[in-house]
């Protein structure tokens, strides 16, 4: 058993290094994401509500993506059903999730994480509470 310990330690260490490199490339590097042309700019100094129905519901994911974990409140998005990674319009459906508030730079970081314009579009929708929030909706799977 003891002769396997160094190999296991090296494998775990390499796994951690690969994970950190992937997170850096995906979330912070200048090479991981280039917004497509034509996206509306985000005005500095503004605050935004974001409705999360997937990975951004996890505080640790929010912390990794935007650098902090803003408090989130339970929320429901009416008229949509979660299917896979996206939302499908369904008149009587309700999608549970969470809503949290971010500033303009944090919204840009979420745009990067969601690959705005490439994998997701950001739409302003009305939650069941009557609040409006940004919702990331998966683009057609035929796109790149």
Q: Which residue has the higher pLDDT, 2 or 102?
A: 102
Q: 73-112, pLDDT tens digit by residue? A: 999 999 999 999 899 999 999 999 999 999 999 999 999 9
Nearest to 99 by CA among 70, 66, 60: 70
41-138 in CATH: which number? 3.10.490.10
Q: Give the number of other Cβ atoms within 10 Å of residue 42's Cβ.
A: 15
- Both tokens of 72, joined, read 């989130």
Q: 6-55, pLDDT tens digit by residue? A: 888 888 889 988 887 877 777 767 677 778 888 888 899 999 999 999 99
Calpha distance 102→80 (Å, rounded):
23
């Amino acid at each position: 058993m003891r002769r396997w310990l160094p190999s296991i330690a090296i494998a775990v260490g390499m796994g951690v290094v690969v994970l950190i490199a992937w997170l850096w490339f995906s979330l912070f590097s200048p090479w991981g994401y280039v917004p497509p042309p034509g996206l509306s700019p985000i005005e500095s100094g503004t605050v935004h509500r974001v409705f999360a129905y997937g990975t951004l519901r996890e505080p640790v994911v929010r912390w990794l993506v935007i650098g902090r974990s803003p408090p989130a409140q339970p929320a429901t998005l009416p008229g949509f059903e979660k299917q896979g990674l996206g939302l499908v319009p369904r008149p009587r459906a309700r999608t549970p999730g969470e809503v949290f508030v971010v500033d303009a730079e944090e919204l840009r970081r979420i745009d990067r994480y969601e690959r705005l314009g490439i994998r997701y579009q950001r739409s302003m929708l009305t939650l069941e509470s009557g609040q409006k929030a940004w919702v990331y909706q998966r683009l057609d799977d035929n796109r790149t």
